[in-house]
Structure 1
Amino acid sequence: MRKLSSPALRQDKDFVASLQKGLDVLTCFGRGAVKLTLSEVARRTGSSPASARRSLHTLLALDYLESDGKRFWVAPRALLVAHAYLASRPIPQLAQPLLDALSERTRQSASLGKLLDDDVIIVARSTARRSLSTGLGIGSRLPAYCSALGRVVLASLSPSDAAQRVRAMRRVPLTPKCLHEADDVIAEVERCRARGWSANNEELELGVRSIAVPVHDRTGAFVGGLSISVRAERMPMGEFRDSLLPVLQKASLRLGEQVYE
């Protein structure tokens, strides 16, 4: 069967728009949006109140949402959607023990991410005992333009595709150190492409540094980005890079040898 791109699939006659709207509603909840009203759901999904109401009613009837009559929130049944991915795809299963070992060895938090729209979504993660304040977990999203993981993933695209994505995405300065102008971000992506790794020095969150490397499977195909993060006060950027980049690169090679997606 010919594999279609996402835009092409959305134009296909078999595309079910109502299912898309329902999934948009289900995934609009998150940190800072734990319980939402109908109007808030409509605003976050860009849908009409009538459309949002139908989706909410359906998800409530199927036990994917709960409600007090005014606000809605995600029910435990929604975990079945995430579990289906985690249980059926090899890379999260293969990455988790490796991330656990990496985190235990370095005493830092490690993540594996893949591109999702203009973000990177965390598909596997191990948090060090000295956890970071970002509160990331599996399913968390990071903006691609200003995260080390994001720049590694963008560097896996062709230069023209990466530049086009960067210029099209919404970019705001999350900290005073955040690179957000298109030309600056594109230059960082190209730097990552040339040297094979990316760094983030308090751009995403003040006090947090991270480095990331690509993971390639045995055929050389890109499968995701692997990152490690540290509190800024624990380690200067130069020491962080020199001591932990080789460890991260070794972990990336090991994971890539096991991936068979």
Structure 2
Amino acid sequence: MRKNRDPAPSEEAAVPDKNFVASLQKGLDVLTCFGRQHSRVTVSEVARITQSSPASARRSLLTLQALGYLDSDGKRYWMLPKALLVAHAYLSSRPMPSMAQPLLDALSERTRESASLGMLLDDDAIIIARSTARRSLSIGLGIGSRLPAYCAALGRVLLAGLPPDEAERRVRAMQRPSLTARTVTDAREVIALVDRCREEGHASSDGELELGVRSMAVPVFDRSGNVMAAMSIAVRAERMTLAEVRDTFLPALRKASGSLARLQAG
């Protein structure tokens, strides 16, 4: 799993137009810089993560604290429950997560494995719905978790849903660190895997995010036949080979993704 967020645009970056509120962007960059690796942060850490000046980071932090989204001991800042309102607004206003949840629950119950639904966000697949099996995985994914698209099964499916030229451009431009000894990082190899997914209709990742974890994903199509999301199953490597994962779970995964596509189209 990706350890750090991609850097936010620098303060010197060109403003798209006169209606763009740069101060709002800075505040949102600060609010979204928190995570498993950055649960309590200092002003200097926020400035580094968001690529802003310490003065700008400090103003954003103090504003968010005054609004009740953050708390502080005077040195470090951390998130308060009010920040959940932002995520709740998305989950409650968009139909796909609520439609997907019972399908993921049924898929997880049937397979006894964890199932996820993700969409493309910058260079990552972001999880918007998830059902965790009793056999929990150590990577501890949840709604809002981001997985690097180049080495996650979800991400490869989502990249395959883009026009080939766009997918290749994105892969070549994104950072591709080795998360494990098995992570595929070479751009040509990643592009080949994305092309293969486009042909076969599914993608896999074998120990590339975390050693001992295998995953497989399929696309979820909209009524026009475009990929709008991806659905995946993750399995502990000691339970079955990747070929066994494909033979055992791919039909159920495709059935669940097809059901979600029909619900969305209806």
Shift of 1:133: 0.6
- 1:43-83 Cα deviation digits (max 9, x unpaired): 11110000001100110000010111110001100000000
Shift of 1:260: 4.4
Counterpart AA for 2:23: S
Shift of 1:238: 1.1
Matched, 1:177 2:182: yes
Contact 2:160–2:198 (Cα < 8 Å) also in 1? yes
1:23 to 23, 28, 31: 28
1:246 to 230, 251, 261: 251
CA distance in 2 between partners of 1:188 and 1:76 (Å) = 40
1:4 counterpart residue number: none
* 1:1-261 map, 5 Å: 11-260=16-265
1:3 counterpart residue number: none
Contact 2:161–2:226 (Cα < 8 Å) also in 1? no
SS of the residue 1:259 aligns to: helix
Superposition CA RMSD, Å: 1.4
CA distance in 1 between partners of 2:262 and 2:222 (Å) = 6
Query: Which shows bigger deviation, 72-81 or 171-180?
Result: 171-180
The TM-score normalised by the length of structure 2 is 0.93
Contact 2:151–2:205 (Cα < 8 Å) also in 1? yes
CA distance in 2 between partners of 1:12 and 1:245 (Å) = 46
SS of the residue 2:137 aligns to: coil
Contact 1:122–1:141 (Cα < 8 Å) also in 2? yes
After the TM superposition, which segments of 4 or more aligned residues of structure 1 sit over 2 Å from their partners? none
SS of the residue 1:36 aligns to: coil
Counterpart AA for 2:45: E
Structure 1 gap segments, 5+ residues each: 1-6
Counterpart AA for 1:130: R
CA distance in 1 between partners of 2:93 and 2:246 (Å) = 34
Shift of 1:32: 1.6
The TM-score normalised by the length of structure 1 is 0.95
CA distance in 1 between partners of 2:207 and 2:231 (Å) = 18
